[in-house]
Amino acid sequence: MRRRAVLLAAGLALTGCTKAAPAQAPAFEAAPASEAAPASEAAPAKPAVTPKSLKFTGTTLEGAAFDAASLAGKPALLWFWAPWCATCASEAQSIGDVHEEYRDKLGIVGIAGMGTEKAMKEFVSDFELQAVTTLNDPAGKIWQRFGIAQQSWYVMIDPAGKIVHKGYLDDLQLTEKVRELTA
């Protein structure tokens, strides 16, 4: 399966990632913090107030409701990607590795856009990212909320809810920023 993913990434690299995010996505509507899913017993206590950066909701590729308020109180990494993007394909293994190493210290959410749900699901399967929460954002609501104009970009949020990075990172930069954020 990894070999197929590598071949897919190589093929996508030949096509490039030049498509920008939708220019006019619908306006963002935040869910009230009171609608957040209850934290599990093993999870740290969630702050009484959800930071503005984590006041958004979405739907996972599996169709489940997701409330970003569930990430409050610990660092978070949002990865904005598209299923046809060669850069995103090359980053997929790094995302999987970061999730494997930091899953107890860092909330990681992939936010897929600019593609069909089928293509998004195939991407997740091909790159073995099933363990990473992935939101289906075909209208670009979450992308617009964070001012994302292209893929593949990262938004890093500290435990207090402050956005500490927004933009592209190569694999080494991603690893370093994650270490700093989780230290």
Instruction: Quote the pTM value.
Output: 0.76
> What's the pLDDT score for residue 76?
96
Q: What is the DSSP string of the chain?
A: -HHHHHHHHHHHHHH---PBPPSSPPPP-PPPGGGSPPPPTTSPPPPSS--GGG--EEEBTTS-EEEGGGGTTS-EEEEEE-TT-HHHHHHHHHHHHHHHHHTTT-EEEEEE-SS-HHHHHHHHHHTT-TTSEEEE-TT-HHHHHTT--BSSEEEEE-TTS-EEEEE---HHHHHHHHHHHH-
Residue matched to tokens 């999987």: 96
CA dihedral 2, 134, 96, 38 (to 10 degrees): -140
Gap between the Cα atoms of 183 and 56, Å rounded: 26
Q: Whose CA is closest to 33, among 49, 11, 14, 45?
A: 49
- Residue 130 clears pLDDT 90, i.e. is over it: yes
Please give the mean pLDDT across all residues of the chain. Answer: 80
pLDDT digits (tens, 9 = 90+) for 67-81: 999 999 999 999 999
- CATH code of the domain made up of 2-13+51-182: 3.40.30.10
More confident residue, 12 or 144: 144
| Confidence tier at 45 by pLDDT (50, 70, 90) | low
